[in-house]
Amino acid sequence: MSAALACLLLTVPAARAATADGDAIRSALIGNTVQGDMALTGAYSEFYAEDGSIHSKDYEGRWRIRDNEMCFKYGEEPATCYQAEVDGDSVTWMKDGQDSGTGTIVPGNPNQY
């Protein structure tokens, strides 16, 4: 392989997972826990219950799926919605075309939130 081709291959970005639609978000996340890190708020671990509630160690909230986004509401703050790229047990949260956070999908509610 030529040096130029090798250099080109090293600079090609990895393919991203496709943005999940509402059904794929529901299937991958609801009834499961996601643990990860958000750019603005840091580490999180949340269980997304079937009834639309969010449970965590120190707080609770509500979720809903609107079109092809998952929306989160905590306390009196307005809801924030994200697109989700789901790849196996990994999720990347996207807001306005930018990565806003990542997480690992853990089956069920192992933390008993």
| Structural domains present in the chain | 17-106 (2.40.128)
**pLDDT of 84-112, one tens digit each?**
999 999 999 999 989 999 999 999 999 99
- Give the long-range contacts of residues 91-97, CB within 8 A, separation 24 or more: 91/28, 91/29, 91/34, 91/36, 92/16, 92/17, 93/38, 94/19
Where in the chain does DSSP place strands (E)?
A: 33-38, 42-48, 53-55, 60-66, 69-73, 80-87, 90-95, 98-106
pLDDT at 110: 96
**pLDDT of 34-54, one tens digit each?**
999 999 999 999 999 999 999
What DSSP state is assigned to residue 19? Answer: B
18 falls in which pLDDT band (50, 70, 90)? confident
Q: Which residue has the higher pLDDT, 59 or 7?
A: 59
pLDDT at 16: 58
